[in-house]
Amino acid sequence: MGDLTKNFSKWEFECHCKKCTMSDEVLENVKKVAEQLQILRYYVDAEVTINSAYRCLEHNRAIGSNNSSQHPKGTAVDITIQGYTPDEVVSIVENMLVNPYLHSFYIGGVGKYNSFTHLDIRENPARWDNRT
């Protein structure tokens, strides 16, 4: 199965530009994100699809993302979960964060989008809604 966790592989987190490589520091962050996604996957017992994860700075700028983006650090993912809307994913994550039995689960940034949910492991919590 996966090489980072049971269900997630490094290739799922790689930049879509196909020209860059992850630094060791970025890979360490990606591993931390994968561990959090694995907890989420076990919790929902459904397939979690990574739409976008690590992005090199060049690719991140090319798609119009801002300089404070967590993606170039390898600390962010944009996901969908089979059978759940982005709003439902946000609710699940928020409920998991206050569940005392899931003390190892941590997500700092949660963003709502029309067709996916952004999650990241930044230190200071952040929430936003970019739905149109």
pLDDT of 2 over the 80 cut: no
Domain boundaries, given as residue ranges, for the chain: 10-129
Per-residue pLDDT tens digits for 89-130: 999 999 999 999 999 999 999 999 999 999 999 999 999 999
Alpha-carbon torsion 79, 85, 87, 89, what sign? negative
> pTM (2 decimals)?
0.95
For the segment(s) 10-129, the CATH number from 3.20.20.140, 3.30.1380.10, 3.40.50.970, 3.90.10.10 is 3.30.1380.10
pLDDT of 64 over the 90 cut: no
First-last CA distance in the chain: 36
DSSP state of 89: H
